[in-house]
């Protein structure tokens, strides 16, 4: 087994605080066996960190439904967060 390709990236969201961040690892692995064609597989991980917590979210195929659902939910949360912050600001006047 060997690695044909590897990509990674990580960004710290609040480096001055407790080290929140998001990143990813992608790799293509090559498998060789006697008398059989070479096969390849993908390994993909999204890494979410916040202070002392870390989640390695594994992806095993090229399907994007899982990450698309997460992005949709994060966009919804962002919208609700902004709306709620406005309500709190009005209540505190």
Q: Above pLDDT 90, what percent of the chain?
A: 56
* 8 A C-beta contact, residue 1 and residue 29: yes
* 8 A C-beta contact, residue 12 and residue 21: yes
Residue 50 shares a structural domain with residue 69: no
Q: What is the pLDDT of residues 57-72, one digit of tens each?
A: 988 776 788 889 999 9
Residue 55 shares a structural domain with residue 17: yes
User: Which pTM was predicted?
Assistant: 0.73
Residue 86 sits in which domain range?
63-93
* 8 A C-beta contact, residue 46 and residue 24: yes
Number of domains within the chain: 2
Task: Report d(CA 44, CA 9) in Å as an integer.
Answer: 12
Q: What is the pLDDT of residues 13-50, one digit of tens each?
A: 877 777 789 999 999 999 998 888 999 988 899 999 98
């Amino acid at each position: 087994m060997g690695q044909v390709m590897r990509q990674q990236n990580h960004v710290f969201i609040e480096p001055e605080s407790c080290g929140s961040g998001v990143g990813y690892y992608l790799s293509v692995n090559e498998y060789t066996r006697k008398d059989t064609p070479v096969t390849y597989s993908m390994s993909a991980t999204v890494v979410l960190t916040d202070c002392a917590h870390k989640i390695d979210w594994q992806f095993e195929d090229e399907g994007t439904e899982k990450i698309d659902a997460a992005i949709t939910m994060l966009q919804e949360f962002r919208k609700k967060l902004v709306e709620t912050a406005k309500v709190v600001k009005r209540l505190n006047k």
